[in-house]
Structure 1
């Protein structure tokens, strides 16, 4: 049995212990499926692996977490994400090599992922400076966000993974997205044990 941290217990209650096993196992299976898909199409680029991993991460998490009593699926931008109570679990492959999660940043500062973090992540640690300039109008959020209650909190499951090395690192926690760029500022993150 794995040790459950105070943060995990507070965030997920009785499901925390199960999640520390189910989430890493799901990501390893997603990697295995993506690698198998790449080998099947025999391309020289890693396109098949990358696209396969992106799709398989959601599917594997859905299959693993669906049996939990507090779990409920929600469809956002054509993918099924899992809600556990008021916690939305969102997978994020942040690197193709083993680097700290604090190096994570998004590919784009707009879109569903960015909007999710801004609207359902933690309150910013540092408020924006008011320099008296008129701010440009904020873009409308992704329409699928209307499917989520305002009470929903986002839990990022950030992981480093490559086709050759597999899943190298998994951490979960909460992060804000800096307004001016694509960098994540972690309010809390902690490792999830890798399945060996």
Structure 2
């Protein structure tokens, strides 16, 4: 899988000669994150899914940063107490958008503020539609999350969006670039494509 020709044209544009390796590492890491969270849930024997949810949230960052750090030139950055990898000038950021197999185009953030929203606004693609000037005084945007100062201003964002549950594991996995629509917290994807889920619980 080290042959860059096995990666998509978009991935090669983003990651260059590392594209095929990144495309292989990301799914493997997220499946491992699910398995760790699944094991944590079984270990505490709770009736709720708290252990799984919190475990998956932490493990997704740990697995991705550990897996991608093996590649040449990767920079590790701490954002809100989580380590993320910057590969070829692109921060690879995981986002579990659903617990069941629904299209990634249905993804919606919980909030238009906070690190994830600021990351998409500051490092995602430019909006496709310019906001109309209606002559109305709008409130100024809040200052971006302080941790974003740890990223170079020209760093771009690759969102790794996935649907995953305790019972089914990772059922859908895509990556791409998206902007955040403030009105309804939905993502407007400029590009998204599936990643092959190689092995699973």
Instruction: Look up the match of 2:48.
Output: 45
- Structure 2 distance, partners of 1:137, 1:157, is 29
Is the counterpart of residue 168 in structure 1 residue 171 in structure 2? yes
Any conservation in 1 of the 2:108–2:185 contact (CA below 8 Å)? yes
CA positional deviation for 1:129: 1.5
Equivalent residue runs for 1:26-175 within 5 Å: 26-175=29-178
Any conservation in 1 of the 2:14–2:88 contact (CA below 8 Å)? no
CA positional deviation for 1:88: 0.4
Any conservation in 1 of the 2:16–2:88 contact (CA below 8 Å)? no
Is the counterpart of residue 193 in structure 1 residue 165 in structure 2? no
Any conservation in 1 of the 2:100–2:171 contact (CA below 8 Å)? yes
Show structure 1 runs of 5+ residues with no match: none
CA RMSD of aligned residues (A): 1.0
CA positional deviation for 1:51: 0.3
CA positional deviation for 1:181: 2.6
CA positional deviation for 1:109: 1.1
- Structure 2 distance, partners of 1:109, 1:46, is 25
Aligned length: 196
Normalising by structure 2, we get a TM-score of: 0.95
Show structure 2 runs of 5+ residues with no match: none
CA positional deviation for 1:111: 0.0
